[in-house]
């Protein structure tokens, strides 16, 4: 088999003087991937595997438009072939999904009304009784009469999951610590059938306006909105049956929705976010009534894929609060995160 030779540093320098030829870069990504899968046979031993990996990361950054810093950070989260799938997936828009507001309507009634308005949709999948995937619509989905009267929330499928894991029960006292614009608060209220109490908090006053608007639009009546830094809990209030901490994060899990993440996140951002998340998770834990007869649970979620913002935060919490333990989410699909 013929060995694949990397370009020399001089060739790369020359390449960098002009606008990148994406076809060449794409071809080199494919070639280097092939080499990495069979380095013994195809690799140039004088250059070493690490040089091929460096070239691949540089090419991924160029081809997909990432800073080299973020391309490298995300690349190392996955085995080589999965990393490429991840970067490719971030280029594909996620399906548009909506959540039926069961405080107002039933999914099949909502679906029928929307179909009558020219919306092409189907149930999201077996795992949700309230989600619908929308393939096309004659009208913007944020402007239909059903939207305006609160029959549904425009909400990504993945963001149903933290609330399903939280599994709020009727008549409980729940804290949603970072809640704006309220996709999850309004789902929690629906599962509780407007009973009990939800304290829906966000540190950003401007964002609480959208939170209040969604609560009103969707007919939620069991919720108080507050505007504290989450780290002030449980001083503000404690003894909750369950707490949801849907933490502020880097957004590396939703690059398909917000491509600015590709270039605007630095090492410092990840350090600061992880630090804040660690403080928030301790507040969330301390706000739960461990002796709650129905609950005693917290859910920690982010829309990021980095270890510093997820596993490392949970690990820190488990070390700092030895009375806390991990429990199954009750969600029987998807794959486990890193456990060590």
| Shortest spacing between CB 280 and ligand SAM, in angstroms | 6
Q: Is 189 annotated as a binding residue?
A: no
What sign does the CA torsion over 47, 50, 52, 54 have? negative
User: Any contact of residue 146 with ligand SAM (CB under 6 A)?
Assistant: no
Q: Is 143 annotated as a binding residue?
A: no
Q: Is 179 annotated as a binding residue?
A: yes
Judged by CB under 6 A, which stretch of 60-68, 120-128, 226-234, 324-332 contacts ligand SAM? 226-234
- CB-based contact 280:245 (threshold 8 Å): yes
| Shortest spacing between CB 155 and ligand SAM, in angstroms | 8
| Shortest spacing between CB 184 and ligand SAM, in angstroms | 4
Measured CA angle at 279 (ends 275, 285), to 5 deg: 140
Distance set, CA 292 to CA 8, 72, 73, 202 (Å):
65, 44, 40, 24
Among residues 174, 220, 249, 303, the one annotated as catalytic is 303
Strands 197-201 and 242-246: unpaired
Q: Is 286 annotated as a binding residue?
A: no
User: Any contact of residue 207 with ligand SAM (CB under 6 A)?
Assistant: yes
User: Any contact of residue 203 with ligand SAM (CB under 6 A)?
Assistant: yes
Nearest one of 293, 291, 314 to 245, comparing CA atoms: 314
Query: What DSSP line would sit under 257-294, residue for residue?
Result: T-TTHHHH--HHHHHHHHHHHHHHHHHHHHTB-TT-SS
| Cβ neighbours around 269 below 10 Å, total | 13
Among 204, 226, 294, 329, binds ligand SAM (CB under 6 A): 204
Site for ligand SAM in 8-67 (CB under 6 A): none
Measured CA angle at 274 (ends 270, 207), to 5 deg: 90
Judged by CB under 6 A, which stretch of 10-18, 90-98, 203-211, 262-270 contacts ligand SAM? 203-211
Integer Cα distance of 321 and 340 in angstroms: 18
Query: Residue 303 catalytic?
Result: yes
Residues 174-193 vs ligand SAM: string with x where CB under 6 A?
Answer: ---xxxxxxxx---------
Name which of 111 and 161 has its Cβ closer to ligand SAM. 161
Helices (DSSP H) in the chain: which residue ranges? 9-17, 22-37, 39-42, 49-64, 68-75, 80-89, 107-116, 145-148, 161-166, 183-191, 205-217, 261-264, 267-286, 311-320
**What are the b/e assignments for 170-184, b being 16+ CB within 10 Å?**
eebbbbbbbbbbbbb
User: Any contact of residue 253 with ligand SAM (CB under 6 A)?
Assistant: no
Residues 229-248 vs ligand SAM: string with x where CB under 6 A?
Answer: xxx--------------x-x
Name which of 43 and 183 has its Cβ closer to ligand SAM. 183
User: Any contact of residue 309 with ligand SAM (CB under 6 A)?
Assistant: no
Site for ligand SAM in 68-97 (CB under 6 A): none
Please identify every residue annotated as catalytic: 303
Residues near ligand SAM (CB under 6 A): 159, 177-184, 202-204, 207, 229-231, 246, 248, 303
State the binding site. Answer: 178-184, 202, 229, 246
State the binding site for S-adenosyl-L-methionine. Answer: 178-184, 202, 229, 246
């Amino acid at each position: 088999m013929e060995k694949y030779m990397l370009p020399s540093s001089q060739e790369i320098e020359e390449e960098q003087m002009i606008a990148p030829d994406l076809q060449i870069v794409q071809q080199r990504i494919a070639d280097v991937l092939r080499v990495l899968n069979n380095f013994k046979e195809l690799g140039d031993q004088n250059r070493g595997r690490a040089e091929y990996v460096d070239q691949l990361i540089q090419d991924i950054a160029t081809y997909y438009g990432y800073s080299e810093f973020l391309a490298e950070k995300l690349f190392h989260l996955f085995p080589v072939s999965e990393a490429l799938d991840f970067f490719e997936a971030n280029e594909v828009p996620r399906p548009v999904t909506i959540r039926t507001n069961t405080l107002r309507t039933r999914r099949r009634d909502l679906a029928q009304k929307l179909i009558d308005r020219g919306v092409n949709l189907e149930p999201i999948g077996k795992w949700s009784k309230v989600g619908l995937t929308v393939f096309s619509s004659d009208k913007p989905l944020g402007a239909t009469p059903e939207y305006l009267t609160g029959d549904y929330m425009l909400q990504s499928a993945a963001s149903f999951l933290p609330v399903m894991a939280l599994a709020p029960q009727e008549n409980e006292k729940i804290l949603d610590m970072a809640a704006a614009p309220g996709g999850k608060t309004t789902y929690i209220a629906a599962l509780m059938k407007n009973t009990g109490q939800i304290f829906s908090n966000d540190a950003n006053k401007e964002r609480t306006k959208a939170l209040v608007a969604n609560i009103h639009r969707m007919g939620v009546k069991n919720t108080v909105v507050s505007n504290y830094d989450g780290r002030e809990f449980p001083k503000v209030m404690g003894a909750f049956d369950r707490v949801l901490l849907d933490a502020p994060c880097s957004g590396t899990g939703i690059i398909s929705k917000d491509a600015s993440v590709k270039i605007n996140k630095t090492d410092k951002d990840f350090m600061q976010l992880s630090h804040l998340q660690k403080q928030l998770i301790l507040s969330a834990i301390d706000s739960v009534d461990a002796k709650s007869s129905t609950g005693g649970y917290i859910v920690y979620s982010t829309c990021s894929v980095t270890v510093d913002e997820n596993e490392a935060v949970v690990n820190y919490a488990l070390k700092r609060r030895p009375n806390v333990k991990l429990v199954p989410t009750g969600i029987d699909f998807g794959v486990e995160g890193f456990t060590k």
